[in-house]
Structure 1
Amino acid sequence: MTRRRARRLLLGALAYTAALLVALVFLYPYWWMLVGAFRRTRDVLSNPLRLVPEQIDFGVFGEIARIGGVDLWVYGVNSLLITSASTAVSVAITALGAYALVRRPTLPGFKLLRAGFLVTIMYPYMLLLIPVYVVMFKLGLLGTYAGIILFLALGPIQFFLFEQFFRAIPPAVIEAALIDGASEVTILTRIVMPMAAPVVATVTLITFLLNWSQWFPILVISRASDTYTLPVALLSMNTELGSNFQGIMALAVLTTLPPAILFVIAQKRVMAGMAQGAVKG
């Protein structure tokens, strides 16, 4: 074995060891939460660092089947409905807006609109809730699914991901389609969007994950618990169940499991889409 090969093997082993340590650091909290969902509260308090449950206890899931007078499955359906709808609206609006800005950058107000999107990225979104609350009140959308979906559909980050990809498309592709007599709608639907499939998948997943975890806007806009989602139910559970540590961990697992599974399945496509969306034209 040459010295160069030995050095390469050593560096590879060190890299894998470092990656394993980083993975353990990120996975440990979730594993601890998962174990806590099956451990009784008194066992957790007596030995909080234990990583294997003394016994698997499923009884806690019956205790959390109804929170705040609403069945747990209602919160789950609300999460899926609100997240899916707001994601679809956000992807559609930001894709169309970004394409219009790239194709017609000289239209009046477009530069101001782009600057507005940039400001909203730097501006804490929680501070936007006051004017949004007033607008929702004027429109009669407080406490409705439509109001929650419209607020969560705001997507400045998604807009810039689409914009960067559309700018990277060679102008010759669009010009050739125009010469062949294709309309803007045809170009968008049959040429641009199929090319942007990885970015669309990335934006969709990012938006879904972000919207799934939102709780404060939903808590503000909702007027009753029948429009709450799982993260809001988790917040309410801290008050209702008090020191029921096991119940809180069980609901936390149910809340975080769907997006975690989705991300693991789609992570390769997300990385590819992020790389394409970051390309400058």
Structure 2
Amino acid sequence: MKQPLGLRILAYAFAIFGSIFFLYPYWWMLLGAFRPTEAILTNPLALWPESFDFSAFREIATVGGIPIWRYIVNSVLITTLSTVASVLITMTGAYAITRRPDLRAFKVLRSGFLLTMMYPYMLLVIPVYIVMFKLGLLGTYTGIILFLALGPVQFFLFEQFFRSIPGEVIEASIVDGANEWQVLFFVVLPMAMPVVATVTIITFLLNWAQWFPVLVISRQPGTYTLPVALLNMTGELGVNFQGIMALSIITTIPVTIVFLIAQRRVMQGMSDGAVKG
């Protein structure tokens, strides 16, 4: 049934107002990168800069004695590799648990995996630090990547989708002579590509923004990412809002572009991975 014109206008007006309300902080951040600190403090709600000052971008060429390009390379490297590892680990783990849900060890593993969704990284700092120390991975890229590769949300999405696949499809492939790896990569994976794309995008967005695991596992600034550099800059420069906003732009623009391009895919994949299960 078609809704009344007045109700639709009201709904659109509310949506536009809500969008402006949530976009204003990001716009304020963009303006802050080009406004002197004095102007930000005296007129913080200005909708346009008095003048465009690019000095902040020169100031952040080096943060904490490390060139900004090093933080950018670390962010791209760690986020990309941890995303790939996370997709492979959670996908294969979810498939194994879906195929053999009767195994007691798998039941315990599944419960433990999903239980971590309730706990923030702050509560995992001590056990993670001890494990990484025992494995000799403190201060290494490998330790950071492995820790970021563990994703309970990603595991949940894969598991729910795999449960929706008819068992007859898998059994027919096994009868034809395919092993479990062949079934996963040549039968199940093509059907799960929407969820794989969604999990990849979500993992990339989450891991790009992570700073606490990187800060805990790293032993030197040379392995820091952009979010950690932003945290250090806050402590180093104090109230230099212009420099902080400039680095915030560099940190957030990549993930903003990725989300704007892939938001439809994320919503579709979340539906495929949750509703069908």
- Fold-level match, TM-score > 0.5? yes
Amino acid at match of 2:123: L
Aligned partner of 2:220 in structure 1 is: 224
Matched, 1:158 2:154: yes
Aligned partner of 1:243 in structure 2 is: 239
- After superposition, where does 1:91-106 map in structure 2 within 5 Å? 91-106=87-102
Distance 1:104 1:96 in 2: 12
Aligned partner of 1:23 in structure 2 is: 19
* Structure 1 unaligned residues grouped into runs of 5+: none
Aligned partner of 1:122 in structure 2 is: 118
Query: 1:156 Cα shift?
Result: 1.0
Residue among 75, 81, 95 paired with 2:77: 81
Query: 1:107 Cα shift?
Result: 2.5
* Structure 2 unaligned residues grouped into runs of 5+: none
2:4 counterpart SS class? helix
Query: 1:182 Cα shift?
Result: 2.4
Measured against aligned partners, the alpha-carbon deviations of 1:196-224 in whole angstroms (never above 9, x if no partner) come to 11111111111111111111111111111
Distance 2:171 2:234 in 1: 58
Distance 2:94 2:135 in 1: 27
Distance 1:97 1:115 in 2: 13
Query: 1:280 Cα shift?
Result: 4.2
Q: Is the 8 A contact 1:86 1:152 kept in 2?
A: yes
Distance 1:187 1:145 in 2: 33
Distance 1:139 1:187 in 2: 33
Q: Is the 8 A contact 1:148 1:218 kept in 2?
A: yes
Matched, 1:204 2:200: yes
Q: Is the 8 A contact 1:41 1:246 kept in 2?
A: yes
Aligned partner of 2:129 in structure 1 is: 133
Q: TM-score, normalised by structure 1?
A: 0.95
Identity %: 66
Q: TM-score, normalised by structure 2?
A: 0.96
Q: Is the 8 A contact 2:121 2:212 kept in 1?
A: no
Distance 2:122 2:97 in 1: 27
Residue among 195, 210, 216 paired with 1:214: 210
Distance 2:49 2:132 in 1: 47
Aligned partner of 1:273 in structure 2 is: 269
Distance 1:38 1:155 in 2: 37
Distance 1:87 1:136 in 2: 19
* Runs of 4 or more above 3 Å deviation: none
Q: Is the 8 A contact 1:168 1:279 kept in 2?
A: no
- Let me know the Cα RMSD of the aligned residues: 1.4
Amino acid at match of 2:57: F
Q: Is the 8 A contact 2:121 2:213 kept in 1?
A: no
State the number of aligned residues: 277
Matched, 1:56 2:52: yes
